[in-house]
Amino acid sequence: MRRAPRTSLVLMALSMLGACRRLVEEAGPPFAFAPGAAYRLRLGWGDALDGLETIEIAADRTARLVRRTATGWVTAVVALNDAQSAAVTGAIQHWRVPQWLRVYMDPDVNDGEQWLLCLEQSGAVHTSYCSNHGPAERDAFRAALLELVVPAASAWTALPDAQRRDGDRELWHAIDGR
């Protein structure tokens, strides 16, 4: 009589109880970030069904934010000064954004939380997609960007429903490679 390996039974039981997570991590092509060169950074986070909050920093150092508030979606545009622009570049380097993997995902968790990043420079593109699982630096990086840009945003305007998904739709296309 052949017995099932004990290790397999234990892992199967733990998996059924949720103690073992099946994490998917996938690397993309190497990305060399040049701090002195122009870049475009797009970051989105939140619920994929209701829309992502986004921040985009364009090559001309203009930051566009889309945020969800208790009364609806709002947007603001901020022209970054030299110090803010240098701080964003420093945050990209400090939080090692160019080294983040292309995919961080736990396929056993389906709660709607998404996190997308697209960094473009000199024709090269680095993307990173996360569900709840992701690099430890992601939340600190987002917080650093928001601390730099949100206080400078003095004019928030309501965003019509027809336009509120434009930023995250573009991010999804960048992640999907379309």
Output b/e per residue, 139-162; b: 16+ Cβ within 10 A: eebbebbbebbeeebeeeeebeee
Span 132-174, pLDDT tens digits: 677 778 889 999 999 999 888 888 999 887 787 777 788 888 8
Span 11-32, pLDDT tens digits: 333 333 344 445 667 777 889 9
* Domain residue ranges in the chain: 22-176
Q: How far is CA 54 from the centre of its chain?
A: 9
- The answer to whether the CB of 139 falls within 8 A of the CB of 145 is no
Rounded-to-integer distance, Cα 23 and Cα 108, Å: 8
Give pTM, 2 decimals.
0.81
Rounded-to-integer distance, Cα 44 and Cα 129, Å: 10
Query: What CATH number should be reported for the domain whose range is 22-176?
Result: 3.30.1560
Span 54-80, pLDDT tens digits: 999 999 999 999 998 888 899 999 999
